[in-house]
Structure 1
Amino acid sequence: MIIITMLVVGLILGFVGAGGSGVIIALLTTVFGVSIHTALGTSLLAMVLTTISGAVSHFREGNVVTKTGAAIGGFGAIGAFAGSHIAHRIAAHDLTWLTACMLFLSALLLWMRMFISKKRQSSQMDDQLVLSGSRFWLSAIGLGLVTGLLSGTFGIGSTPFIQIGLLLFFGMSIRQAAGTTMLVILPIALLGGIGYMSNGYLNVGLFFEVVIGTMVGTYIGAKFTKRLHPIVLKIAMVTVPTIGGLLLLV
């Protein structure tokens, strides 16, 4: 049943191009009775495998700013590992509603991202800000540690947080922000997942069930994205994390 459920979730996520870790966490805890800590760790580790293909594809298309992505992802991994140990000390009930709040915030940021994207496209801002030296590293360290800490503590991918940071602080185009985010997420998800695993929050069987279902579903779902009207996609992108947050609060 978990594989079938994750397959359906994957189809939806493939349609809208969302990571959907929040929905996965919500379903595992509310429908299948998995503890919130185990759900968070499973979601993060599963995100590693489901993100690799997207990162490789964006890299081949030239959408990844490698130096920036590697720097932010490296510091993000440190934040994610620390966040997983912080989550270990938070009571399950408190962690559940805190994660729900983060999902609502993610939905809000995704909505804000649409306006930022529209503004950048209308003004034809498609060049990166040339950051170097201490300014580059301070921006990379700050964005990496904050987004990594959020991911590790609450099990979310932090995609909207990362993308808005790349758009505002590094002046990337929408295309570059989307591709570079994939690279940033990889080390964050890996170290965050390892942190949860070191605290005993990993069910190997559950992990493979989630991965099989979501990978097959997203692969199929992505093929139908162009059939949907852009407005439908934008609404769905905001709706997905909102539903995840509501499920956690039920």
Structure 2
Amino acid sequence: MILKDSWPLDGHDEVEVFRFTQGEMGIPEVYAQYTVEHGKKGAWVEEEIRKIFLLEEIEFIYQGSKDTQSKGPNSQVEKETQSKIENQEEDVKMENRVHKRLILKTECCKFQTAAGPYQFLEGMLHGMMGHYNMYKDGWLHRDVSDGNVLLLPEPEIRKPLTRFECTKNLTKCVGVISDGDQAIRWRELDRELGKHRSGTLPYISRRVLNAWNKNQSVLHTFADDLEAFFWVILCVLLNIGDGRQSLTVDEGRWLHK
């Protein structure tokens, strides 16, 4: 069992995002979600939930990644969290966000742990397939990042994506897209949603960034999420190279600026 915390807008149900795509390629297995109570009441609620789900030893993950650990206010996780942008205009009212906890069966790890290029690319493809399955079900993810596109430690069986000839025989899943806390119903897009800013800054498409730079409203689209996958691949590869001290000076400057 895996627990994942998030702070979505009040009324957003992450279980609903994945409800009708359970068992499909690139989608994590989700059990339930509940609102986290704080204080004495919160401690009692947590104990009861653990009894219900028999979670004697449970892993806690922050922002969807098993191997991510918080190390204080300057941790990489919190830097990424701070870089998430949502309604930055000064005239927008404070959003009502709620502390939610998601219970998942699927255990994940970051792409930096890939055994080699084949597993890396295969997992990324499966994450893209998961994104497509979400979109086919009516959901636009809007926050593709290296903390939300994740590897599976061991392959899991999923339904094949039969829409495309090259994927119709793929059933062993090694990568998923998680964290649906910023997902929206793309069929319900309107100009009002164009004022909302969402995503993790290093992976946001140039089109969206250019619009924000000009203080223009812009609707997030499927193509923007696809471009985000490119930035995820680039950033993960550069981080791997950085760990091996194999980056050029220019690559290192780009990664750390």
TM over 0.5: no
- Pick the structure with more strand per residue: 2
Name the one with the larger helix percent: 1
Structure whose alpha-carbon radius of gyration is higher: 2
Higher relative contact order (CA 8 A, sep 6+): 1
